[in-house]
Structure 1
Amino acid sequence: MRRTIAIVSAALVLAGCSHTATPPPAASSPAASALPAAGGALGAAPSSSGPASAAAGPCTIFPADNVWHADVSKLPVHRDSAAWVASIGAAAKAHPDFGSGFGFPLTQVPAGQAKVKVTFQYADESDPGPYPIPKTARVESGGDKHVIVQDASVCRAYELYDATLQSDGSWKAGSGAAYDLRSNALRKSGWTSADAAGLPILPGLPRADEAAAGKVDHAIRFTAPKTRKTFIWPARHAAADATDTALPPMGARFRLKQSVDISKYPPQARAVAQALKTYGAILADNGSPWYFSGTDDARWSNTQLDALKALKGTDFEAVDSSLLMVDPNSARCRP
């Protein structure tokens, strides 16, 4: 695995972390799939040591000073922005790869959920189990078969890639990662996760309850057809062989240009589009161009989300997010 460490510029940091997290709503049923509120809940023991936020208080999806919550609206445009946008697809249409009936399903488990064995294909870069994943955990449809489990009682999240339930109640998976959502610790440099970039999936997923509240307060996960054989902070892993500098690395951060008019978008699409302007999007996997991830939730209106398909590659620009970095091994960003 190849390591790349971003260098903090001496230039003035014009944007940063200014998020105030709110606690998740109580689940109506402890066994039901639940979606955290803005700044929501989740977590598990970090795969590498690092600074943690205050232990007390409500469980949120990472601390307020975490890079996923960083305002990037005023960061300078990255010098390779034009080349990266062209490589992903300047004319390619954006696609909300989530909604009612598709996207990443979330499973909430109650306090004391029994932990089970998980066997990994890539065990050397996976957090060892057992994991509190029930037989009823929702599995993403399609080839990647992700499982994302929330245990808000201990503020931990567990994510699997290519997961398959076994007859004895255990699970087999390609890779897996566990997160303490009160910590800014990143995974070991060079390690994958349940995602190609070695990043957590959960914090990059817009949720229907966030949109209903009028604000998605974090960056959004997205994919690109081709990436470079390197990664930049906060990503931890590369998933390509190409060395062409015109290709974006894993972890590259983009934002929707402020000049794009989203005022006439329906409410759900407008909340997502505004998040793309304020918090941007982080490249986390290889896939279709400008495919933005989110939750699978019946509360989404697919008709409203379709408005996002009017966006195209040239509506986006890459930003220099290295200006936010405090420590290459931590997701904490500059205020």
Structure 2
Amino acid sequence: MACCRRLFAALVLLLAAAAQAEPPPRFPPGAVWHQDIRDAPLHPDSAAMVATWVGLGGFGYGRMQIDFSFHVVRAGDDAPLRTILAYPSAGSYYSPDCEAPGTAMPVPADAAIEGQAGLACDNANGDCHLLVVQGSRLYEAYRANASGTGGLQAQCLAVWRLDRTYPASNRGEHCTSADAAGFPIAPLLFNADEVHAAMQQADGDLGHAIRFILPNARMATTLVGGVRRPVYVRPASHAGGPSGPEGTIPYGARLRLRADFPVGLYPPAAQVILRTMQRYGIVLSDGGNIALTAESDRYTEHTWASLGITSRVFDQAVPAAPVRAQDFAVLDTGPRIVETYDCVRNPELVDPYGLVARTLRVGSGRRELTSLAWQGGAERVDIHAGTELVAMVDNTGAFTAKPRPRGTPWRVCSAGTSACSEAAAPMSDRYLHAPKAPRKTLPGRNQD
């Protein structure tokens, strides 16, 4: 009987783990993180930047190591809420970069902060990230620590819409997030479930860029008026506290593993990660010593141990061919931007709604037009007919265009985003022209 009870308990735990297994949080396919960069042009100074970086020590600790301390928590619709309390003080909270103190975020009872088993974290001495996904929203808190029954200390809370494609400046130019480059964190991690899934495909990869970090002294600055200033490049929107020479790589740099790296010498799971570095690259996101950051296997179905991935796989599994800084090249993602720390938040992405589409016939010649009317949306909107971008215009809540073939769906989107209305096909015709004069009637005649 005791044996059966143990077997039943093990089965319950297995089913619970399987029920929790979900795909990692990801943005739509059009997001910059999903860009295949195999053929992307290199920065003209790539070789010089890499040489300078290597001379400074390359990756932290001189090796490509993996940190498995990040947890990605999945929250149901009924998850309890905690209110953000500015930490360590209201004046030191990252405003306006981050959501205002007092904002609530879902925090399940079984949630865990980075490197912890629960919601207690020494945020005076650590990053203490708390990453929570609920539906299409991703909540990422920096320097988090639970306070009482309903509070959460944090120096920043960044909320991301996973169903949106963000502009080049992410949540705003010179704006940080829970990551110093202004990046989302969870979508740039990799976990054991997605690596396992990619292993089931021939030549599989993860389909997204991977987050990496470096010591501040190995990231670029520049001299402005005799003062050394931080710099960043796209896809970053912010730089933390770099202190390295101008010739090294800057915050936000996207690096690509060389195409002829001997991937086949590595275990199958490691090959998936290496192919991802060749096809989607790694992006410089924050300061620190352990180069790569992966999701822990606390909430995943598969474990890193079961896949044969250890923290030191990339410098110890194949002693003859470790992954080194000089195996990477720097992509050309645009000019360096000098950091001012003056955050200008982008407008909140708003879905236009209530779209009505009608076909009108106007004038004596009965010229046909399609008339659109909607509510909400950003200051400028994109008008789409099927897959065609018809116009980019100021948002007046109305637009008129030449008709498209019958049944063509129209959408209105906040400019440059995938924040769109529901599709609407034009309704039945209306006639807008001068009304006919009423027919004269004789006195006493029925006028019905």
Same fold? TM cut 0.5: yes
Name the SS of the counterpart of 1:223 in structure 2. Answer: strand
Counterpart of 2:339 in structure 1 is none
Deviates more, 1:267-276 or 1:303-312: 303-312
Against the structure 1 CA distance between its residues 66 and 131, is the aligned structure 2 distance closer, same or farther, given a 3 Å change threshold?
A: same
Give 2:64's match in structure 1, choosing from 68, 74, 95.
95
Cα deviation 1:142-182 (Å, max 9, x = unaligned): 82111100113xx1110011110112231001212001001
Cα deviation 1:284-322 (Å, max 9, x = unaligned): 011227x01111116113843433222111111111134
Counterpart of 2:304 in structure 1 is 300
- The question of whether the paired residues in 1 share the 8 Å contact of 2:65 and 2:313 is answered with no
Cα deviation 1:212-237 (Å, max 9, x = unaligned): 01231110000122323111122111
Please say if 1:317 is aligned against 2:354: no
Counterpart of 1:133 in structure 2 is 107
Give 1:217's match in structure 2, choosing from 201, 207, 221.
207
Cα deviation 1:100-143 (Å, max 9, x = unaligned): xx331111111232322112342412113111123432111282
Quote the offset at 1:264 in angstroms. Answer: 2.2
Give unmatched runs, 5+ long, in structure 1. 1-26, 42-60, 324-328
Whose RCO is larger (CA < 8 A, sep 6+)? 1
Against the structure 1 CA distance between its residues 237 and 331, is the aligned structure 2 distance closer, same or farther, given a 3 Å change threshold?
A: farther
Counterpart of 1:161 in structure 2 is 142
Name the SS of the counterpart of 2:273 in structure 1. Answer: helix
Counterpart of 1:265 in structure 2 is 266
TM-score normalised by structure 2 residue count: 0.56
Name the SS of the counterpart of 1:82 in structure 2. Answer: helix
Quote the offset at 1:86 in angstroms. Answer: 3.1
Give unmatched runs, 5+ long, in structure 2. 1-13, 88-92, 116-124, 199-204, 222-229, 316-321, 336-345, 347-414, 418-448
Counterpart of 1:143 in structure 2 is 126
One-letter amino acid matched to 1:223 = I
Deviates more, 1:200-209 or 1:72-81: 72-81
Against the structure 1 CA distance between its residues 308 and 36, is the aligned structure 2 distance closer, same or farther, given a 3 Å change threshold?
A: farther
Against the structure 1 CA distance between its residues 164 and 266, is the aligned structure 2 distance closer, same or farther, given a 3 Å change threshold?
A: same
Please say if 1:191 is aligned against 2:196: no
Counterpart of 1:64 in structure 2 is 29
Cα deviation 1:70-112 (Å, max 9, x = unaligned): 11111122122223323433674542423xxx33111111123
> After the TM superposition, which residues 26-45 of structure 1 pair with which residues of structure 2 at under 5 Å, given as runs?
34=20, 36-37=22-23, 40-41=24-25
Counterpart of 1:17 in structure 2 is none
Counterpart of 2:43 in structure 1 is 78
Measure, in 2, the Cα distance between the counterparts of 1:311 and 1:35. 30
Name the SS of the counterpart of 1:230 in structure 2. Answer: strand
One-letter amino acid matched to 1:95 = M
Against the structure 1 CA distance between its residues 162 and 88, is the aligned structure 2 distance closer, same or farther, given a 3 Å change threshold?
A: farther
Deviates more, 1:73-82 or 1:303-312: 303-312
One-letter amino acid matched to 1:145 = C
Quote the offset at 1:192 in angstroms. Answer: 0.8
Give 1:181's match in structure 2, choosing from 140, 149, 162.
162
Against the structure 1 CA distance between its residues 319 and 165, is the aligned structure 2 distance closer, same or farther, given a 3 Å change threshold?
A: same
Quote the offset at 1:245 in angstroms. Answer: 2.3
Tell me how large the CA RMSD over aligned residues is. 2.8
In percent, how many aligned pairs have the same letter? 30
One-letter amino acid matched to 2:66 = D
Deviates more, 1:159-168 or 1:238-247: 238-247
Counterpart of 1:9 in structure 2 is none
Name the SS of the counterpart of 1:304 in structure 2. Answer: coil
Measure, in 2, the Cα distance between the counterparts of 1:110 and 1:35. 13
Measure, in 2, the Cα distance between the counterparts of 1:149 and 1:157. 6
- The question of whether the paired residues in 2 share the 8 Å contact of 1:34 and 1:106 is answered with no
Cα deviation 1:235-254 (Å, max 9, x = unaligned): 11111264732132211100
TM-score normalised by structure 1 residue count: 0.74
- The question of whether the paired residues in 1 share the 8 Å contact of 2:50 and 2:325 is answered with yes
The structure where strand makes up a greater share of residues is: 2
Measure, in 2, the Cα distance between the counterparts of 1:280 and 1:135. 35
Measure, in 1, the Cα distance between the counterparts of 2:144 and 2:109. 12
Against the structure 1 CA distance between its residues 233 and 273, is the aligned structure 2 distance closer, same or farther, given a 3 Å change threshold?
A: same
Measure, in 1, the Cα distance between the counterparts of 2:416 and 2:213. 20
* Equivalenced residues, count: 274
Counterpart of 1:279 in structure 2 is 280
- The question of whether the paired residues in 2 share the 8 Å contact of 1:232 and 1:249 is answered with yes
Measure, in 2, the Cα distance between the counterparts of 1:331 and 1:74. 24
